[in-house]
Structure 1
Amino acid sequence: MRVSNVIASPKVVTDWGKWTNDQMGKHVFPLTKRRGACLRYGASHRWRLIRFEALGASFRILAAYRQDIDEFKAHLALEHASDMTVLCSWEYHGTHPGWHIHVNCDEVSKITPGLARPPGVRLPGGRSIHRQQNFAGTSSPMSDNAALTVIQKRFRLDPPDLLSFRARP
Structure 2
Amino acid sequence: MDKIYNIKYVDASYSYEESINQTKLDLFEAYGYVEKNKNNIVITFIKKHGISEEKQNHDKEVNIINGLVIPDTSLASISSAYKTNILDNIKINYAVSVTWRDVVHVENLPRYDCSVMYTEGILVKIESDYVILKDPKTIRTYPTPVKNHPGSGLPTYLVIPISFITDIEVVK
TM-score under structure 1 normalisation?
A: 0.28
Structure with bigger gyration radius: 2
**TM-score normalised to the size of structure 2?**
0.28
- Asked which structure has the greater RCO (Cα within 8 Å, sep 6+), the reply is 2
Structure (1/2) with the larger strand percentage: 2
Q: Which has the higher helix share?
A: 1
